[in-house]
Amino acid sequence: MNEQSVICTRGLTRYFGSKPAVDNLNLEVPRGSVFAFLGRNGSGKTTTIRMLLGLLEPTRGSGTILGYDIRALPPEARARIGYLTEDHQLYGWMSVKECGEFQSRFYPRWNEKIFRGVIGHFGLKQTARVKDLSRGERAGLCLGLTLAPEPELLVLDDPALGLDPVAHRSLIESMIYLTRRSDRTIFFSSHQLADVERVADYIAVLDRSVLRVCCPLEAFRNSVRQVRLRFSGAPPPMPKIPGLLQTIRSEGELRVICAHYNGATEAALRALNPAQMEPVPLNLEDAFIGYLGERGEKSFILPETEAQP
Amino acid sequence: MSFNITISTGSNTPIYKQITDQVWLAVVTGKLAVGDQLPSVRALAEDLVVNPNTVARAYADLMRDGLIESRAGRGVFITRKRKVFTREEGWRRLEPLIDAAIGEALAMDFTHGELREAFEKKLGQWKPGKGGNRSNE
């Protein structure tokens, strides 16, 4: 295990009944990274996060967080982790200020300046009652409560869910601000690929309980490529090419999306004798959908050791 | 210095590349000259709301290409303008841009004559790059 990893799991598995929610997960999150944890609804992201934080017992496998065994996290480890849940649990009868006072008692390292900074950034008044807050304001309050103890590791479970554009931008700005300290790690799950593009340097993708990508964002973008092949007649049938994700066939043309694109892929495509062959740039969303689409073979993009920051 | 970088997500071009492209364009068109200062990595990252590593990556590429240099304790500066691409590569990149502009224009019923005129006029408005002199201190 790499000691630069703040999260590391080996074969982590959790069953609900006879169905695996997370299947044999090997995840490694480098210290200081902004790590996006992606996957469709129900792919096992929240289950993974709950196991990492010791809130749910794994069926099999092991894991460490900040070097501690996830099955026996001591309070001092928990104090160094900030966890923002999907559903922003708060006491409705408290004011914003009271929430801060209440939370601060649990943390020896509470930084009131950060708390005020974040809630100010989200435009919240100290005297406002929690029950009167909008979804975006609750998110801001929860983020303030999570950031004020200055956690070394921040775990955000779908923090952008249901936020309006202004609150959303505040959230992303807060995340960028956090990177001022290079030893802080942010692990967040999301469906917002625009956010991922802005803030993440690593991504992991869960697909139906199985990890299919875990690498630097840039490596993912470089690996998934789209090529257009033009033919003078009808395009030939597509042979089996390693990493082939998708083939879109139209008159005189094949559009192919491949993972692990390399010289061999190119040679295999050239062997089809196209009249013309050109790369077609893919944006992150298209690459992601191409990768998770139903037609692709199950391929893995493994972490690249040389790409460690 | 009337130079502003803007980025968009969801583009086919990764963000670091959007940054390097815009700095190159600004230098080539004279919006940035030798000696002009660029914002720090941190400042640009917070301004664009992107990961500082992305800006650092863009700056590293620009430094490798000799367009900018980092002076210890002072910041990042434009050093020189250099030929970006070989002639051949330049044409390869230029052609789709021209095709796209002409295609759109013809679709809007502009005539060839009008297009030629508009192109000449526009060309006259652009100053040739003034950052061309190498400043070897």
Residue from the list B14, B49, B51 with its beta carbon closest to the beta carbon of A200: B51
Using alpha carbons, list the distances in angstroms from residue A92 to A98, A128, A133, A153, A276: 11, 10, 9, 27, 64
Structure tokens at A42: 């129900």
Residues of B in contact with A218 (CB under 8 A): 14, 57
Domain boundary among B39, B61, B78: B78
Q: Is residue B24 part of a domain?
A: yes
Q: A141 and A95 in contact (C-beta within 8 Å)?
A: no
CATH number, domain of B34, equals: 1.10.10.10
Same domain? B72 vs B97: no
Residue A281 and residue B13: Cβ atoms within 8 Å? yes
Size of interface A-B (CB pairs under 8 A): 48
Q: Is residue B137 part of a domain?
A: no
Same domain? B97 vs B60: no
Q: A133 and A141 in contact (C-beta within 8 Å)?
A: yes
Same domain? B52 vs B29: yes
Residues of B in contact with A200 (CB under 8 A): 51
Same domain? B73 vs B99: no
Q: Please state the pTM of the whole predicted model.
A: 0.82
pLDDT-derived band at B133 (thresholds 50, 70, 90) equals very low
Residue from the list A34, A179, A194 with its beta carbon closest to the beta carbon of B9: A194
Q: Is residue B2 part of a domain?
A: no
Mutation to test the A interface, candidates B5, B7, B9, B15, most A Cβ within 10 Å: B9
For β-strands A60-65 and A68-69, DSSP reports them as antiparallel
Residues of A in contact with B46 (CB under 8 A): 173, 176-177
Q: How far apart are CA A36 and CA B57, in angstroms?
A: 19
Q: Is residue B30 part of a domain?
A: yes
Closest approach of A171 to chain B, Cα-based (Å): 10
Residue A198 and residue B46: Cβ atoms within 8 Å? no
Residues of B in contact with A173 (CB under 8 A): 46, 49
Beta strands in chain B (DSSP E): 37-38, 68-71, 75-78
Q: Is residue B111 part of a domain?
A: yes
Same domain? B60 vs B97: no
Same domain? B70 vs B121: no
Q: Is residue B1 part of a domain?
A: no
Residue B49 and residue A198: Cβ atoms within 8 Å? yes
- Total domains in chain B come to 2
Same domain? B59 vs B95: no
Same domain? B91 vs B111: yes
Domain span including residue B106: 87-125
Same domain? B19 vs B71: yes
Q: What is the pLDDT along chain A (309 residues), one digit of tens a residue?
A: 455 799 999 999 999 999 999 999 999 999 999 999 999 888 999 999 999 999 999 999 999 999 999 999 999 899 999 999 888 789 999 999 999 999 999 888 899 999 999 999 889 999 999 999 998 899 999 999 999 999 999 999 999 988 889 889 989 999 998 888 888 999 999 999 999 999 999 999 998 899 988 999 999 998 899 999 999 888 888 888 888 888 888 888 999 998 888 888 889 999 999 988 888 889 999 898 888 876 544 555 544 433 333
ipTM: 0.81
Same domain? B102 vs B74: no
